[in-house]
Amino acid sequence: GQNIDQPTEMTATEGAIVQINCTYQTSGFNGLFWYQQHAGEAPTFLSYNVLDGLEEKGRFSSFLSRSKGYSYLLLKELQMKDSASYLCAVRDSNYQLIWGAGTKLIIKP
């Protein structure tokens, strides 16, 4: 079966760096997405990786290793507003998105 694994919850300190990991086993691969979802709100797109390597976008970076079925989202200079759930999703060979359950990130002052 298809599966996306990510930690349920993480805690980090304001101003620090945090890395959220995502491992996947899917039928084919056509890209990996990270979304941010604040409590009670809709998910919003953060990043997309289809080739191996690091994609940087401001304070956020996302890394992909297709051979290892692994990605991480790196958040730098954490701010209180970064408290949210972070969803990892993989697009499979049928171009359907397979979603992880999300990682709830708690930022402490």
Binding interface with other proteins (CB under 8 A): 4, 31, 33, 35, 41-45, 48, 87, 89, 91, 96-102
Q: CB 39 → other proteins: shortest distance, Å?
A: 11
Nearer to other proteins, 48 or 70 (CB): 48
Nearer to other proteins, 24 or 78 (CB): 24
Nearer to other proteins, 2 or 13 (CB): 2
Measure the CA–CA gap between 104 and 100, rounded to whole angstroms: 12
Nearer to other proteins, 72 or 100 (CB): 100
Q: CB 77 → other proteins: shortest distance, Å?
A: 24
Q: Which residues contact 73 (CB under 8 A, 6 or more apart)?
A: 19, 20, 22, 34, 46, 47, 60, 61, 62, 86, 88
Q: CB 68 → other proteins: shortest distance, Å?
A: 21
Q: Computed from CA positions of residues 88, 68, 24, 8, in that sequence, does the dihedral angle turn out positive or negative?
A: negative
